[in-house]
């Protein structure tokens, strides 16, 4: 068991969420610039957007399990839990 795999999975989960959030904003909303995040936060929907961006973690989790990378998959789950707590705080 390598503990570094858990950290790699955590980073993969957070990066995947960032990519998913950006894709959601570009494809399904009128927000086109990174500067629009301040507007999203003022409207109170930043947590919801982050949550929708985290949906890609399901796909990454499935791929890691199929490739027998259980510790990395745990890291993705840990990233999802951290993002859920962050969403509640926001």
Q: Where are the alpha helices (DSSP H) in the chain?
A: 3-28, 37-43, 46-53, 56-66, 70-89
Tokens 């980073």 — which residue? 11
pLDDT confidence bin for 46, thresholds 50/70/90: confident
Is the pLDDT assigned to residue 23 strictly greater than 90? no
Distance CA 29, CA 73 (A): 30
Is the pLDDT assigned to residue 40 strictly greater than 80? no
At CA 71, angle to CA 69 and CA 72, rounded to 5?
65
Tens digits of per-residue pLDDT, 62-82? Answer: 999 999 889 999 999 999 999
Highest-pLDDT range among 4-8, 24-28, 43-47: 4-8
Distance CA 43, CA 34 (A): 15
């Amino acid at each position: 068991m390598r503990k570094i795999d858990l950290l790699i999975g955590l980073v993969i989960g957070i990066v995947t969420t960032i990519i998913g959030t950006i894709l959601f904003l570009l494809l399904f909303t009128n927000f086109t610039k990174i500067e629009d995040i301040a507007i999203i936060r003022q409207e109170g929907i930043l947590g919801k957007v982050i949550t929708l961006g985290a949906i890609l973690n399901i796909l990454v989790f499935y791929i890691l399990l199929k490739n027998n990378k259980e510790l990395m998959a745990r890291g993705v789950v840990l990233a999802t839990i951290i993002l859920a707590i962050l969403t509640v705080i926001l």
